[in-house]
Amino acid sequence: MRFFLLNASLITLLLSTSCSEAQSDDKKGKGGKKKDKQESLENTLIDSAIPGLRRVGSLNGGVPESSGLARAETAGTFYTHADAGNEPVLYKIDMTGRLLGKSTLPFTNMDWESLAQDDKGNLFVVDAGNNNNTRRDLRVYRLNPGTQELGKINFSYSDQTAFPPSKKQRNFDCEASLWHAGKLYLFTKDRGARSTSKVYSLNDQLGTQKAQLLTRLTIAGEVTGADISSDGRRIVLLGQEELFLLEGGSFEAALKATPRRISLKGSGQTEGVVFHKENPNLLFISTEEGNIYEYTLK
């Protein structure tokens, strides 16, 4: 299998120095204290409206939006990216939204909608946004920030024969993915009936593949993000200001479970979601408006 080696200047994340952080803190002064009070009030209002949800940060430093979210190497840090119309850049941020570094990838951002990660440090950038269900160039980019290896998976859906299908059958847009046991799982955003998320699987190896349809989940909404807990027993699917939780004794059992809907009304256009590595009850959620939340599952 062929690998591509990224130029170090592309993949190396440019970390902010402690000196610049100190200067920023010195300049904060009274204006910063006023902002802190305002954010504290906003967090209190959010906590009251949505029990368990707490805003912990907002994007800054040139990150345009967060369409996908994945854990980075250090606790409390994340990778994120923007979607169609933006540069093909992977950003590294902390949980307050502060930019730690960025990497420009040598690919076009047709419509990057999701991030997944495996247990070897690989990230999977899913370029499968497909609003009109017409795309024939669906891709997943696999990269490893540690080894600098970069590769590509080209894929198509095993059951799509029309580009586009009839309006009610337009269920080939994908904004959510997760990795488990050597496979990528793709969850569609139903733009036709808005009632079903189809689940497909891909091997995590590079090359050209057919995404195999595994099952259909009854979701009364549009899925925009997904992740799996470290123990493999919980799957979360993110929707527009809502969350769907599937639980079971194993990943396979969870995938067959009836989704439990949790309202996040008032949180904004929720796009990215990732579990805390050690705590299967704690989620981090990002929005297109740039907010970053913690959410505690009950």
Average pLDDT of the segment spanning 185-200: 97
**Cis (ω within 30 of 0) for the bond into 164?**
yes
- Strands of the 77-81 sheet, one edge to the other: 68-71, 77-81, 89-94, 99-104
Using CA atoms, how far apart are residues 2 and 4, in angstroms rounded to an integer? 7
**Inter-CA distances, 179 with 32, 66, 232, 234, 285, Å:** 40, 19, 10, 13, 18
Average pLDDT of the segment spanning 261-267: 95
Task: State whether residue 117 is helix, strand or coil.
Answer: strand
Class of domain 4-296: mainly beta
Average pLDDT of the segment spanning 99-117: 96
Predicted pLDDT at 35: 55
Using CA atoms, how far apart are residues 220 and 148, in angstroms rounded to an integer? 40
Predicted pLDDT at 170: 98
Average pLDDT of the segment spanning 151-177: 98
Q: Is pLDDT above 90 for 42?
A: no
Average pLDDT of the segment spanning 109-115: 98
| Confidence band of 296 (pLDDT split at 50, 70, 90) | very high
| Confidence band of 17 (pLDDT split at 50, 70, 90) | very low
| Confidence band of 46 (pLDDT split at 50, 70, 90) | low
Q: Which two tokens stand for residue 265?
A: 């009304």
DSSP state for residue 191 in the 8-state scheme: S
Predicted pLDDT at 12: 41
Predicted pLDDT at 62: 85
Predicted pLDDT at 19: 35
Query: Helix-strand-coil percent breakdown of the chain, rounded to 5?
Result: 15, 45, 40
Main-chain phi, psi angles of 228, to 5 degrees: -130, 140
| Confidence band of 37 (pLDDT split at 50, 70, 90) | low
Average pLDDT of the segment spanning 20-36: 48
